[in-house]
A and B are shown apart, each in its own frame.
Chain A
Amino acid sequence: MLEIRFHGRGGQGAVTSVELLALAAIEEGKFAQGFPSFGPERRGAPVLAFLRIDDHHIRLRCKIAQPDVVTILDPSLIRIQKPAADLKTNGIIVLNTNKSLAEARQEYGFKHTLALVDANHIAREVLGVLIVNTTMLGALIKATGVVKVDSLEHPLRERFGPMAAKNFAALKAAYEKTVVEEARP
């Protein structure tokens, strides 16, 4: 089973991200759970969203305590939420940043496998708005191979209708541009 945690802010679409990815995994015949951090919804507040993917029916109904992957939509959350603190040693950090790998490691002290993409830039260019949730899915898929890129097309269309094509383009652009570096313990 793969357990992924998204770090974002209320309104940035972290919950939408896990839902889309869960739907894509289910379309591939896998089993998945996508769910928010339960509670009142507060725009701008730091929020978590959770995703489990497995080849079998998933019986867990609790939070993800030790994720395999953390995806950080908004780097300003790193100091607040400390997303890497409970990440498995062989886990992966997927980060939205315009920093280089070396800069990011130095700035945040990350030792895990690190996947970086400037999602803000892609979102501005392709979508014309600074909403990076679908863009970051491309980075996550590049770093983990958890689903095929094409599996997102249908869930995106169902969710966004006429806006789906742009979101899919942003996702694919992020997939191309994401750089991944092995852990540096």
Chain B
Amino acid sequence: MAKRVGIEVSLAVSHAVQLARAEAIAAYPITPQTHIVEHLSSLVANGDLEAEFINVESEHSAISACIGTSAAGARTYTATSSQGLALMHEILFIASAMRFPIVMAVANRALSGPLSIWNDHSDIMGARDIGWIQVFVENGQEAFDHSIMAFKIAEHRRVLLPMIVNLDGFILSHVVEALEFADQDTVDRFLPSYSPWHHLDPKKPVTMGAFGMPEIFAEFKMKHQVTLMNSYDQIMKVWQEWGQLTGRDYHPVEHYKTEGAKVLLLTMGCLSEVAEIAVDELRSAGESVGLLKLRLWRPFPFAALREAINGAELVIVCDRALSVGGVGGPVLAEVRSVLYPMASRPKVLGYIIGLGGRDVPPEAFKEIFSQAQAEAEQEPSEEFYMYGVRG
């Protein structure tokens, strides 16, 4: 039976990992991810989770140890944030290329400098191309659900790729809120134990991590690309199955009041529910506006996004990260690129918002909505806009 509880979201994530019966965890604490691994560490120490908790001296070692435990055939979990994710960087590519279904939470936080421990998406946007499956969540319930579902997706025989669950640091990770826990029986039935397709076994020796000569490297990458794109079907299946069990449905691109909307806001993560409030208020004021929430970031949901546009004239992409010297925000760049081939495509404008822990109240979206409409009526004055920056 499902149980309604009040709990800090970080601890709810740890509990999800406990219910998923993770067998190996290697992690290094970093704000604002700390509470997740701290709690997992005590669950293991108290005998409430039968797993190896490997203490390491850095995130580089954490993810390297995860590759080791995954190679040994264990269900493997880790979590990090910001500089920690950056320190993992080179190994992240190796984990996905070697096809190890490690699950990782990233409590999204700005990358320094200036030194910042607060929330934005610049950490994960720097790790866009690591070849992992990536989702974003909006609230504690979603953080819990996706932390369980991620194992089932990642470990499927036709997927076998690592997966990141992105949750906003502090504004989500550190909030005590209400959510529904699934019970152990339900999770056990949903998520069978992990039986690795390939693992280290002295009786059946294999070579892992061999050279990819120039004659073979591109073919290798093609296989990775096709596998990651094809993981979409399995992601849909797992989300549907969880939806049937819990009544909570998840989609790659989620719609909020988009019917007949001429203007669509597009957000990710915790920005989304705040933007919903703005859409409610704008709709009551008679504005033709809706909200698209991009949940699945990798593999990018091309078809679902194009379909979601559904005749809208203006799409306003709100990025929580800045590509300095580039086209603005990473989400803007990708959304524009995906919509470009459409026969009748909307205008796409980009706003950078909520950097380094800057508070984003619903009013921000209302202001962006009216600014963007004015900009769209003429030749836009900028390539993209930095919202709320003084000077």
> A–B direct touch, CB within 8 Å, in complex?
yes
* A79 on the B face (CB < 8 A): no
Checking B171, B176, B359, B360 against A18 with a beta-carbon cut-off of 8 angstroms, the contacting residue is B176
* A34 on the B face (CB < 8 A): yes
Q: B176, A60: Cβ atoms under 8 Å? A: no
The interface size bin for chain A is 20 to 34
* A59 on the B face (CB < 8 A): yes
Which of the candidate stretches A19-27, A105-113, A116-124, A134-142 sits at the interface with the other chain?
A19-27
Residues 258-278 (chain B) with a chain A CB within 8 angstroms: 270-271, 273-274, 276-277
Q: A35, B176: Cβ atoms under 8 Å? A: yes
Checking A23, A60, A61, A63 against B6 with a beta-carbon cut-off of 8 angstroms, the contacting residue is A23
Q: A31, B277: Cβ atoms under 8 Å? A: no
Q: B273, A35: Cβ atoms under 8 Å? A: no
Q: B176, A34: Cβ atoms under 8 Å? A: yes
How far does the alpha carbon of A65 sit from the alpha carbon of B177 in the complex, in Å? 19
The interface size bin for chain B is 20 to 34
B108 CB to closest chain A CB (Å) equals 12
Cβ–Cβ < 8 Å partners of B276 in chain A: 59
Q: Determine which residue in A32, A33, A57 has the highest number of CB atoms from chain B within 10 A of its CB, and name it.
A: A33
Number of interchain pairs (Cβ within 8 Å): 73
Residues 28-56 (chain A) with a chain B CB within 8 angstroms: 30-36, 38-40
Cβ–Cβ < 8 Å partners of A2 in chain B: none
How far does the alpha carbon of A64 sit from the alpha carbon of B168 in the complex, in Å? 18
Cβ–Cβ < 8 Å partners of B177 in chain A: 22, 26, 31-34, 58
Chain B residue at minimum C-beta to C-beta distance from A155:
B6
* A102 on the B face (CB < 8 A): no
Q: A61, B178: Cβ atoms under 8 Å? A: no
Cβ–Cβ < 8 Å partners of B117 in chain A: 39-40
* A85 on the B face (CB < 8 A): no
Checking B170, B175, B270, B357 against A34 with a beta-carbon cut-off of 8 angstroms, the contacting residue is B175
Chain A residue at minimum C-beta to C-beta distance from B364:
A62
How far does the alpha carbon of A57 sit from the alpha carbon of B360 in the complex, in Å? 18
Proximity bits, B1-29, A CB within 8 Å = 1, else 0: 00011101000000000000000000000
Chain A residue at minimum C-beta to C-beta distance from B6:
A26
Q: B175, A33: Cβ atoms under 8 Å? A: yes
Cβ–Cβ < 8 Å partners of B176 in chain A: 18-19, 22-23, 32-35
Cβ–Cβ < 8 Å partners of B8 in chain A: 19
Cβ–Cβ < 8 Å partners of A62 in chain B: 171, 274, 359-361
Residues of A within 8 A of B (CB): 18-19, 22-23, 25-27, 30-36, 38-40, 57-63, 65, 155
5 additional contacts (CB under 8 A) given A36-B174, A39-B118, A62-B360: A30-B178, A35-B170, A38-B118, A61-B168, A63-B359
Residues of B within 8 A of A (CB): 4-6, 8, 32, 117-119, 139, 168, 170-172, 174-178, 270-271, 273-274, 276-277, 357, 359-362
21 A-B contacts, Cβ less than 8 Å apart?
A19-B8, A19-B176, A22-B6, A22-B176, A23-B176, A25-B6, A26-B5, A27-B6, A30-B178, A32-B176, A33-B175, A33-B176, A35-B174, A35-B176, A38-B170, A40-B117, A58-B177, A59-B273, A60-B361, A61-B273, A155-B6
